[in-house]
Structure 1
């Protein structure tokens, strides 16, 4: 599980809080021909990761 800055203040994760979002962390956003990611899949590359670390 990856921590997200959602503003949540509780010490526990409730069932209603757990939303699954397909996420890929790779050096590139390019998807190979043989790959079929889910329609709602998101990706983070090196540039995005630097932005997230600053936040």
Structure 2
């Protein structure tokens, strides 16, 4: 009945994923390749969580 009140965790993960990719892009443009690679790795982990959450709910 109140399912519309529950937050969708995949939306938060998607926001985190996009923000991390944007930070990685800016790091790459600054020439900070080490930070870029760390942020890209972090974004890949978030993407895996999103995929796991979507496969569980589907």
Q: TM-score range by the shorter chain?
A: under 0.3
TM (norm. structure 1) is: 0.23
Larger RCO: 1 or 2 (CA < 8 Å, sep 6+) = 2
Relative to its length, the structure with more strand (as a share) is 1
TM (norm. structure 2) is: 0.23
